[in-house]
Amino acid sequence: MNSSTILITFLSLLFILQGCKKEYSQPPSADRNETVPVRVEPLAVQTSPIPVQSSGRLETASETNLSFLIGGIIEHLNFSEGASFQEGDTLASLDLVEIDAQVQKAREALAKARRDLERITGLYSDSSATLEQVQDTETALEIAEAEYEIATFNRRHASITAPGDGVILKKYAEEQELSTSGTPVYRIGITRGNRYLLKTGLTDKDVLRIRNGNQAEVYFDAYPGRAFNATVTEVPASADPRTGTYEVELSVESEGALLKSGFIGKAMIFPSSSQPYYRIPLQAMVEGGQHRARIFVPLENGTAEPLDLTPDYIGNDFFTIDTTGVAFKHGVITEGASYLRPGIKISIYSSN
């Protein structure tokens, strides 16, 4: 079979296949004389607050690193990671052999300085010592007193005391390890009762709707379906330069559940008030995006009219618009809108 025969055969088959297409596979035509069935949903002005949805990381009320003021050999680490403690508990302590020796040395030096001053003062009274010698001895006593105060201060801070009730988040050192001044030994979280913090980043548009004291619900994968009550406790004045979002803090009630720092929580924050709005089903949108939405509304003459709107908020299955200058007397078309053109007749059917 030559190439001409093959071409003729291919064109013949293509013509046959085109003729076999069924009419019902075509979408409704744009003929103005055709009637398009549509479903219409009524709309009413709403004022109930639209929740702000976000997620974040759970933390204790405050987290900080603890370290020894002075260096030394760690003798005791009394709490392991995950352990709870109470305010005033001794979390860790250094070996006191060298520290106590320094205190004893400073104490003896102070005693000697006092004796020297007493002796030189007596000699000065007998004119056997000069005023300069007395003043030098007084200075030596002041130095000895300062060194003794430093030694006793270091002795008092040779241990780490819990600043409040909390939990050990991380242990950085081990017993018998040499610790230098300021090197973290523990990272702790202060729980402040049964409260935890959830920090979540909000966009500039969402953060304007949030105020301190707004109520919220937080959900964790560890407790499926359980809502934990929360309250907005801090709304920042500026955005995080790294993320461009505003890190809002929620105070979360544990309500007897075992919560751990690091849990990822999904939050629904309820603003205390909301401007009037229309809530439009997302399926009504025939085209558009974040800043533009086109929908169709039915008219009294049996046709439909397109409207271009600017969404204020876009949810999972709806978007909202401001009520200013807009009224939906006959609702909005939610099904069949994709086949509509201005002037096409419509017939409204019930979903029942």
Domains of the chain: 35-47+276-348 (2.40.420.20), 52-61+194-270 (2.40.30.170), 97-157 (1.10.287.470)
Q: Could you tell me the pLDDT band of residue 313, with boundaries at 50, 70 and 90?
A: confident
Q: What is the pLDDT of residues 57-84, one digit of tens each?
A: 998 877 889 999 888 999 999 999 888 8
User: Cα separation of 194 and 84, whole Å?
Assistant: 13
Please report the pLDDT score of residue 166 as a whole number: 83
DSSP string over 75-96: EEE---TT-EE-TT-EEEEE--
Contact 321, 312 (CB under 8 A): yes
Q: Is 18's pLDDT higher than 60?
A: no
Residue of 228, 188, 233, 190 whose CA lies nearest to 210: 233
CB atoms within 10 A of CB 30: 13
User: Cα separation of 69 and 179, whole Å?
Assistant: 10
User: Cα separation of 198 and 103, whole Å?
Assistant: 46
Q: What is the pLDDT of residues 298-312, one digit of tens each?
A: 998 888 889 888 888
Please report the pLDDT score of residue 27 as a whole number: 46
Please report the pLDDT score of residue 206 as a whole number: 86
Percent of the chain with pLDDT over 70: 88
Distances (CA, A) of 45 to 257, 276, 277, 327, 329: 40, 6, 6, 9, 11
User: Cα separation of 329 and 71, whole Å?
Assistant: 78
User: Cα separation of 23 and 26, whole Å?
Assistant: 6
Residue 104, classed as helix, strand or coil, is helix
Please report the pLDDT score of residue 111 as a whole number: 94
Structure tokens belonging to residue 79: 């709490």
E strand or H helix at 113 = helix 97-125
How many CA atoms, within 13 angstroms, populate the side-chain half-sphere of residue 24? Answer: 0
How many CA atoms, within 13 angstroms, populate the side-chain half-sphere of residue 37? Answer: 3
Q: Could you tell me the pLDDT band of residue 351, with boundaries at 50, 70 and 90?
A: low
Q: Is 101's pLDDT higher than 50?
A: yes
Contact 108, 121 (CB under 8 A): no
Please report the pLDDT score of residue 195 as a whole number: 76
E strand or H helix at 39 = strand 35-41
E strand or H helix at 198 = strand 195-202
Q: What is the pLDDT of residues 200-248, one digit of tens each?
A: 999 888 888 889 999 999 999 999 989 999 999 999 999 989 989 999 9
Segment 255-274 shows an average pLDDT of 86
